[in-house]
Structure 1
Amino acid sequence: MTERFDCHHCEESLFGKKYILREEDPYCVACFETLFASTCEECGKPIGCDCKDLSYKDRHWHDTCFHCSRCKNSLVDKPFAAKAEQLLCTDCYSHEYSSKCHQCRKTIMPGTRKMEYKGSSWHETCFICHHCQQPIGTKSFIPKDNENFCVPCYEKQYALQCVQCNKPITTGGVTYREQPWHKECFVCAACGKLLSGQRFTSRDDSAYCLNCFCDLHAKKCAGCTHPISGLGGTKYICFEDRQWHDDCFNCKKCSLSLVGRGFLTERDDILCPDCGKDI
């Protein structure tokens, strides 16, 4: 007795007929196409066993239906791009959607490397230093007057030189007495503290933080012996080579303020007229 060989679905004999195996089960062509064939995205018909099934992101096409949605040219074995569920050849895609190079104004083709900066795009080979004309690539660059410069060229052409270290200032400089400084080079001449953004003063062409200036150069108050900085509009009284803070210029005996008043002296002390009567 001959063993039967039937379609797994309709159970019709497959002897002498074309069949397709799926997961080790045989199917006649009609059953296989009904049960398993993909539907073509373009024409909506099943993709039969005698046709190539071209797929992209779970979508399927007959090879004769796999074409550009704009120009209708075949995309079989050709590069393509997808936009809004449509397949486009590279020419149509670049015409519709690709950015233009800021330098040469030509299309930057999909899949090619490009450089982007502040909303503009360049071919990698077009993104070059304005001075030396060498590609910048992933190296640091500095924009100036709508042009881009590699750091060495910018420093040679435009960067100011720090008066302290004589090296170029590319970012964050400080101007003091009309001369350029790096922030990290502009420091107190006594303690080395950074002065950028801090209150400071100078003496003999050197800059000092307030504490060092007061300790080194400020006159001492004859009343409290603390320095009189004279900064920020600080008022003080001078008399016979001595100085006082306004708040310290008081009668030695009764502590009455003598600012704007007459006063007497007894040795190193200052006295109001009333206390001076007892001298």
Structure 2
Amino acid sequence: MIFLILLNYRCAQCFEPFPDGIYFEFEGRKYCEHDFHVLYAPCCGKCNEFIVGRVIKAMNASWHPECFRCELCSKALADIGFLRNAGRALCRECNEREKAAGSGRYVCHRCHAMIEEGQHIKFRGDSFHPYHFKCKRCNNELTVQSREVGGELYCLRCHDTMGIPICGACHRPVEERVVTALGKNWHVEHFVCYVCEKPFLGHRHYERKGLAYCEQHYHKVHRDGWRTRFLLRRAQREGDDDPTDKRSPVDNEKCSNRRRPHN
């Protein structure tokens, strides 16, 4: 009996007394700390130390919770999960970036998911899904047509009414070089001759009755206009019909007959 009692206070592996009375029990048998670790405790895949307590089983190995981390950003993965990528344990954000790098797509700086081609917006130098933001002025959800002004994001409609010049031709904001003429603002390529529609591109233009002309067509319009006014004034003095009417006397007679009522 005494022999059995003594055995109960010794390690089942090395038969040495338990230091300070501390032991580990497994399947009804008691072990000292060293032998218990050697026999049963898993070894961490990173620090190679025995694991006592919570064990993370992943990537065909065991890990201390604090040792199991993303191989790219070192974020702890024990409580957030991981994704396997080329034999590496990665957090979701790093995994999305790695996938995007191979596909040429952008990764959203907020949700870390890939963004469909042509569906991202740039804000303070980073790429985002537009639906993460609302317009600073109207509070509506943004689309890819949003604009950044002064470190804030605006929908296109609000942006166009913020004092930014609006083109008199296309009615869109003029965000680069602006031409001011005829009391309006214009994109350089949209400020054109009224007749030939060729852009002036910084060359001289001529204004007449609220319209812009190149030199050639300005002189032509001015000359034709002067001739018309001269003929009208002469006709008024002489009591003639409209001198700008190019029809022949026969045509005029036909028109008079059409207007004459039938008996």
TM-score where L is the length of structure 2: 0.39
More strand by share: 1
More helix by share: 2
TM-score where L is the length of structure 1: 0.37
